[in-house]
Structure formats: structure tokens, C-alpha cells
A and B are shown apart, each in its own frame.
Chain A
């Protein structure tokens, strides 16, 4: 990959949180280059600063020094061509599912009518047909997170940032969601930055896994996952898959 076609480029990124007494170094030194359409996982222990990194790429947190560029544009505020999925669904309980999915259209000042077909299409794709007029309280946690994914994709962003989106779900739902996410990704081929602390999840989903050290964070290793696509859950039983898992576990524990 050359610098010219990097979709996301992070150079010499450093992030220090200022508390009353001292600065807390969250990210010491991060370099990243992500190509268009790549599925990247950022893997690391809890509290290592991986969410911080994602929020900086999303323009939701200021950086201390270094540069973060998306499509060769330095990021200083949230971009219109980025979609974000958070750890919690953060749906508005007073809105229907459809209106929740359409929220970015309103906040970006676009015409809602132009996107309602797309909203229905996304809901259909995530198995939520027939729930458009329900309210979030009537949906399970997994379904709510699917709504959040639809919302992140409604304005057709090129970059999807996902901050441990399935960590609150039970293991079976999580497997299901991972499969669905891959299906959506195969369909739309967006660049995805996926933060997780689950090694299996990272291997299953990604083209490459960026391993982060505990705080202050650096990228300690980049592992290319050379497994065939499209991937099904059965791939988790193959020796190749488990070799990757073992290798990554070794990297995280040392």
C-alpha cells in the first residue's frame, strides 16, 4: 500500500488527557495506514486507549499531537462521510426505529424523503423488516444494535467506525451479529475500523488486526489475517483460524 491511496492515515499520534494534577498519557505513539475497503480490527486489553484512538479518527476527541487524515483530509471534527457505532445502541426512546435510523439525515441537513427507501432496505438487510414503526424499548439488545448499524450506514459513509459494538451482547447473539456484519460489509465494501477486546472476533472479521499494548498505547503488532472470504462461523473450527487466535493471544499476554 502506498501513502497516496490510504483511506485512513494516522501518523505519530499522541494523546494525553489533562487531569487537575497531571497529564495521563493514553496514546504514546500510533501509526496506521488503512486502505479503502479494508476491514481492520484494533485489538487490545480494556482501557488501553483503543476507543480513544477510534474517537480521534471520528473527530469526536481532539488529539494532542500528530496527524489523523481521512481521504487525505486532516480530521478536526466529525466528517459527513463517516458512520459511528458505539458500544451501546444509544437510540432515542421517543423515536420509532425508522426515525432513529434517519437521524443522521436530519442532523446532516439532507432530505429525509430521499433516504427512507434506503432506511427500509437497511432494516430489511439486518432482519428488522416490520419493526420500522416500533420503538426501541420493544426491541432486544441485539436488535437495537442492528438499528445502530443501520443508522451508521444510512448516509452512505465511506468509513465505518465501530467501538466494541457487540461487547454487551451474549455470545450467541454476538456470533450472529458478526456474521451479519460481514455480510453487510461484503455488500457495501466500506472501510471499517472495529475496536474489540475479543481475539476471536477480530480474527473472524478482519483483513488485518492492529494489536495495541496496554496504556500508554502503541501498536505493538500488525497481523494480516489471510483467511478466505466470504467467511462463515465454521471457519472458527479450522486450524488456521486457531493458529491466528493463539498467535494474537501470545502477543497480548507478553
Chain B
């Protein structure tokens, strides 16, 4: 584990050093590219401002993600349970996936206003698709022989779902969760760009308007940290729940 972290850390540190020295050596204006040290200083200087905007981004992201998990998994389960429902609904779900969801942001403002609702819904529609597809695929990947085994011991439909199909789908569902959480962050940031009320996305646009690139990059850094922490939380949960050996393709 330590060895796995040491390599990337060393390379990242080296790149930061090159970045810092280049800024000084080539005398790059701060408005174009501030040094890493300057960005760190800005984070400490404006930590209160950053904190104020980090909270709505994080909480709204989690709301949109949570909604996507509940609705996406629910729909995935329904699709797997009812072939008729699948045949009629799944093509529509796929068709909807082709729509670039960020393009819906202005429409959502028209429909739901400039508030939290618009942002949460945008995060939801982006994170929703991987949840549906992975839940569905996970249930369908169940070994038919295992279902037959369960039937041999008089298991009913509900038992087969709870004790066989759902656990079998969990590694797939976690793949969906990992994609979903990163998508949800994208959704919230784009929504904050256009609703321009609060949040790190708003702060980035605000800083850009003031040509305050150090603040922009500070917000970007904090945003990246939020994204990494949320992703790591999903991975930690996966490690806790999916303790068995799953195929290489899912790792």
C-alpha cells in the first residue's frame, strides 16, 4: 500500500516543483498561472470564503447523487424483474442518455428556478444513468445455476432476489456508484456556473470575472479535494461491503 502511494506522490510533487520553478523562471503573470505556493497561500487566506462555498456544493452533490442511487437502482431492479417493462422502457432510457445532460441546465432554470432544486436535479440526471445500467447488468449477470440451486431449496422469487441476485449485483452497483459520484460533482458544478448563486462552481466563475486567478485555482483545488474525498468514501464503503473475490473485469 505504502509503495503504491509513494510513486504517484513523488511524481506529483516533482510536477509541482517544475510548475513552481517555471512560473518564476519564465516570469508568468499571476493572472495567467499562479504558482502552487501562491494557490496554497490563497486557500489559507480565503479559507472562510472557500468553506462557505464548499458546503452547498458538497451537500447538493450528495442530494443529487442520493436521488440517482435510489431512483437508478429502483429502475434497474424493475428492468431486470419485468422483461416487458425492460423492452418498452430501456430504449427510452438509452435514448435519454444520448442527450448531453449539461445542456439541460438552462432549461432546468426555466422550470425549477435558480435554487437548490435545479442543481440537485442536474446532478441527478447525470448520475442516474450509470446507476440504472449497472444495477440492471449486475442482476442479469447472476449465474442461472445459482438461481436453480436456490429453487431446489424451495426459495421464492423474493428470496432469490434478496439472497442471490442483489448480492451478486453489488460489485456492479459499486461500479455505478463510483461513476455516479464523479458525474454528480460535474452536474453540480455546471449547475453552479449557470445559476450563479453559491458553491465552488459559482466561486470559480466569480473569480474569473474578477481576473482573480489565484482564487479561481484555489476553488478548483478545493473542488478537486471534495471530488476525491467523495470518491474515496464510495471506495471505502465498497471495501467494507464487497469483501469477496469478484472477477478481474470489475476490479
Contacts and interface: CB of A to CB of B under 8 A. Distances in A.
A32 interface: no
B154 interface: yes
Contacts of B148: 60, 86
Contact of B146 (A78, A80, A90): A90
B153 A78 contact: yes
A60 B150 CA distance: 10
Interface stretch (B64-72, B111-119, B159-167): B159-167
B155 interface: yes
Secondary structure call for the B interface:
helix
Nearest to B242: A94
Nearest to B143: A90
From A77, A107, A137, A155, name the one whose CB has the most chain B CB atoms within 10 angstroms: A107
A58 to B, nearest CB: 6
B151 interface: yes
Interface residues on B, range: 20 to 34
Interface residues on A, range: 20 to 34
B91 to A, nearest CB: 24
Nearest to A138: B245
A107 B154 CA distance: 6
A94 B153 contact: no
Contact of A107 (B146, B153, B167): B153
B242 to A, nearest CB: 8
Interface in B153-204: 153-156, 159, 163-164, 167-168, 170
A86 B163 CA distance: 19
A112 to B, nearest CB: 13
Contact of A93 (B151, B163, B245): B245
B26 interface: no
B5 interface: no
A185 interface: no
Interface string A25-58: 0000000000000000000000000000000001
B145 A90 contact: yes
B146 A92 contact: yes
B94 interface: no
B17 interface: no
A215 to B, nearest CB: 21
Interface in A91-129: 92-94, 103-104, 106-108
A84 B149 contact: yes
Contacts of A107: 150, 153-156, 159, 163
A84 to B, nearest CB: 4
Contacts of B168: 94
B144 to A, nearest CB: 10
Nearest to A108: B154
Nearest to A107: B155
A103 B245 contact: no
A104 B152 CA distance: 9
A135 B246 CA distance: 12
Contacts of A108: 153-154
B154 A78 contact: yes
The 7 closest A-B pairs by CB, nearest first: A107-B155, A104-B153, A84-B152, A93-B244, A137-B245, A90-B149, A107-B153
18 contacts: A60-B152, A77-B154, A78-B152, A78-B153, A80-B154, A82-B152, A86-B145, A90-B145, A93-B244, A94-B167, A94-B168, A94-B242, A103-B163, A104-B153, A104-B154, A106-B163, A107-B150, A107-B153
Interface of B: 143, 145-146, 148-156, 159, 163-164, 167-168, 170, 242-246
Interface of A: 58, 60, 77-80, 82, 84, 86, 88, 90, 92-94, 103-104, 106-108, 135, 137, 155
Given A84-B153, A103-B163, 4 more contacts: A82-B152, A86-B149, A90-B145, A92-B164
